[in-house]
Amino acid sequence: MHISSISEPEQGILLQFQYPDGSRKSRRFWESQPIQDLFAFAGSDNMASEVFSVQLAWSSNTILSTVDGSLSDYEISSPSNLYVLWMSGVQIEGLTASSGASSDSQSNAPHNLGTIQVSVQSTEQNIASSASSAPVLPEIESSFGVFEGKTGQVFFTYDQASVEMRRYYTAGKLIAWSLIHGGPGIKALDTTLFQLMCVQNVIVEDFDWHNLPDGETQDKVRQVFLCKTQEEMNGIRSNLGEWIADCGVPGIYSATLDDMRRIYGQVIKHYIYFRTADMINQFKDGMNCCGNFWKIAELNWKVFLPVFTNQQKPLTREDFRALFTVCWSEAGSNLREREEDTIFCWELFLNKIQEKQSRVTFEEVLVFITGADSIPPLGFRGQPRIDFYRPENRRLPFASTCGMVLFLPRGIQEEEDLTDMLNTALKGYCGFGKI
């Protein structure tokens, strides 16, 4: 049935769909409405694949477009954001097989193949057990040595021993496992490398050689990049010709000055991608063991770009405020009035952070409340809340990171009082593992 023949309920729940190309559209549905109506709407796109999937922002489950039932059968009963992911036939077959294997190994697992649930048995229990509640990358860097480079622009190491020990596979598996369970993603791969891994056409000639992790290699490619004269080119042939040829660019010996930028790009591409192809492929295999995660990411690479690369922008006041709901007392009550006093001071506290007049940042406040220093790609599984307590002996604000609740004292009327209490609480707590 075409979506145009299905009326949109005025009072239904509002669902917003985000597509692989970054576009969005929304529509209202009844929670009792057939889920195929949802897929008819989501699939009314020129780029839609014959079979595709959607994923609720707060859920780790992927729902295939072949399922039946109502929206409520898939826990779609309130306004939500859904990610639309196009898939190939091979990917759908792999996902179905993965789900079937999971169902066979878990007696309590659901038998509905429309909802993909992934289980990972990691041999590194100490990392896997905290993969969804702490940054995975630092643990992997310190324990596996599969990445190198500066923060936010890492590359794969060239380590054959680690390949034999399947460390790159384990790293990929842990990162996929963390993402599936609501983690923030790796957010560290060099952007050019990620696009090459996704088989995209990248203008490698524009790559900044300063980002390479090895100083000696930086010096070599710098000479190629800055080559402007015939004399400099002759010197490169004499001193670096053999090294460049070993990078798969034997054309250096017959190149002209006009070819040097192209040769530079070819050398960069060899160093960051082709040289470590075995390591990269093993990493992809590790991710694909979790429901063909890498295949989905590769097909929808623009959506996953901020998940794998460092494109995160600092949190703003608007971002931060939109995360929280306030647990008010009954309207008109004395408690409600005192809570409104506190929230007024809280708003002023947030304004000071936005204006960079505070000792703390939004990221530090978010860690204090949720354990995460950024908003996960799929959103938090529940909505963070602000609740209140009766102030006793100047008790400091406190938080439950498991429930993602910040508790503030009622009746605070002076901005400075709440600011001092929050600064003391934030700077004095022992810390918490970040998601």
Question: Distance between CA atoms of 175 and 173, rounded to whole angstroms?
Answer: 6
Length of the chain: 435
| Position 183, amino acid | G
For 102, residues 6+ apart whose C-beta sits below 8 A from its C-beta are: 109, 117, 118, 119
The answer to whether residues 237 and 253 touch, using CB atoms and an 8 Å cutoff, is yes
Determine whether 402 is an active site residue: yes
Structure tokens at 241: 């010709």
Tokens for 371, please give them: 């354990």
Cα–Cα separations (whole angstroms), residue 185 to 248, 320, 333, 373, 377? 33, 20, 44, 12, 7
Question: Active site residue: 227, 289, 290, 402, which one?
Answer: 402
Instruction: Work out the number of other CB atoms within 10 angstroms of the CB of residue 194.
Output: 21
Kindly report the backbone phi and psi dihedral angles of residue 339, in degrees, each rounded to the nearest multiple of 5, phi listed first: -65, -35
- Cα angle 421, 424, 429 (rounded to 5 degrees) comes to 125
Judged by phi (left if over 0) then psi (alpha if -120 to 50, else beta), residue 342 lies in alpha
| 404 φψ region: left (φ > 0), alpha (ψ -120 to 50), beta (else) | left
Compute φ and ψ for 204, nearest 5 degrees: -70, -20
Distances (CA, A) of 195 to 67, 186, 244, 253, 273: 33, 15, 23, 30, 10
Query: What are the phi and psi torsion angles at 415 (to 5°)?
Result: -55, -40
Q: Are 120 and 126 in contact (CB under 8 A)?
A: no
- What are 399's two structure tokens? 């938080």
**Nearest in space to 269 (alpha carbons), one of 152, 190, 151, 216:** 190
Q: Which residues are catalytic?
A: 402
